């Protein structure tokens, strides 16, 4: 995968916007950067974590809580954090804050009952570099595979729901993933002059957004 941005983005959904914004901005010290209307009554409150973006999506109409995905927890490495601490946001999403010497970055902890299949997906299909058999690299971000049980789930619901890779050519990347054996979630669509996006699914059917964002690539052509 040819990344246009050397970092992973994370998308979550919530029915309780104000408590969630207070937690992420005040307790997690994540800075608000932009409000993006997505259509269908969904507003995306974008927050910067180094080069990554945490996307807090709030629908106009409440959604069913759903079943948790394999996106188990986030770790934010931050030099402004004095000691390691684990927190839960108002929806119960797990967050680890860990001191670090360098720039702010994040790690996604991904629970899987199918370790070998997930290793193949992230290593052979997405072609992400790896630090070891369990940790894959997306620029400054990391994806850590953790063996564990996982109940069936859909894309919809509250909590951590998807991850996003920013690329130069969404159609090319989407096609390559499918040709390598990946599962299609949603074919590429254009969002005006903002982005081209698509969705694929990993071996556990976690949703992965592939995004060609004009503000990053300079073009949607």
pLDDT tens for the chain, 221 residues: list them: 899 999 999 999 999 999 999 999 999 999 999 999 888 899 999 999 999 999 999 999 999 999 999 999 999 998 888 899 999 999 999 999 999 877 789 999 999 999 999 999 999 999 999 999 999 999 999 999 999 998 878 878 999 999 999 999 999 999 999 999 999 999 999 988 888 999 999 999 999 999 999 999 988 87
Q: For residue 116, what are the contacts with CB-CB under 8 A and spacing of at least 6?
A: none
Question: Structure tokens of 97?
Answer: 């804050």
SS3 call for 100: coil
pLDDT at 220: 83
Sign of the dihedral through C-alpha 79, 85, 89, 91: positive
* Residue in the block written with tokens 């259509």: 39
* Residue in the block written with tokens 């996307």: 55
Q: For residue 90, what are the contacts with CB-CB under 8 A and spacing of at least 6?
A: 14, 16, 19, 20, 23
pLDDT at 191: 87
**Would you report the helix, strand and coil content of the chain in percent, each value rounded to 5?**
15, 50, 35
* Distance, CA of 38 to CA of 57 (rounded, Å): 9
pLDDT at 100: 86
Domains in the chain (CATH in brackets) are 3-217 (3.10.180.10)
* Distance, CA of 102 to CA of 92 (rounded, Å): 28
DSSP run (H or E) holding 217: helix 214-217
With beta carbons less than 8 A apart as the criterion, state whether 200 and 116 touch.
no
* Distance, CA of 188 to CA of 174 (rounded, Å): 8
* Distance, CA of 47 to CA of 29 (rounded, Å): 10
User: What b-and-e string marks burial along 4-24, b requiring 16 or more CB atoms within 10 Å of the CB?
Assistant: bbebbbbbbbbeeeeebbebb
């Amino acid at each position: 995968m040819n990344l246009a941005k050397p970092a992973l983005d994370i998308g979550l959904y919530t029915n309780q916007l104000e408590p969630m914004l207070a937690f992420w901005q005040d307790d997690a010290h994540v800075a608000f950067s932009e409000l993006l209307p997505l259509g269908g009554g969904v507003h995306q409150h974008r927050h910067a974590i180094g080069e990554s973006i945490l996307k807090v999506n709030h629908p106009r109409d409440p959604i069913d809580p759903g079943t948790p995905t394999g996106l188990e927890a986030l770790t934010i490495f931050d030099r402004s954090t004095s000691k390691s601490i684990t927190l839960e946001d108002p929806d119960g999403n797990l967050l680890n804050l860990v001191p670090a010497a360098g720039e702010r970055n994040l790690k996604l902890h991904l629970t899987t009952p199918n370790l070998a299949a997930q290793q193949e997906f992230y290593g052979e299909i997405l072609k992400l570099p790896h630090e070891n058999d369990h940790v894959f690299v997306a620029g400054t971000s990391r994806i850590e595979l953790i063996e564990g049980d996982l109940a069936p789930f859909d894309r919809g619901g509250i909590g951590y729901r998807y991850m996003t890779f920013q690329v130069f050519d969404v159609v090319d990347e989407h096609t390559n993933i499918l040709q390598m054996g990946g599962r299609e979630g949603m074919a590429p669509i254009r969002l005006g002059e903002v982005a081209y996006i698509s969705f694929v699914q990993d071996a556990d059917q976690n949703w992965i957004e592939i995004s060609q964002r004009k503000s990053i690539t300079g073009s949607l052509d």
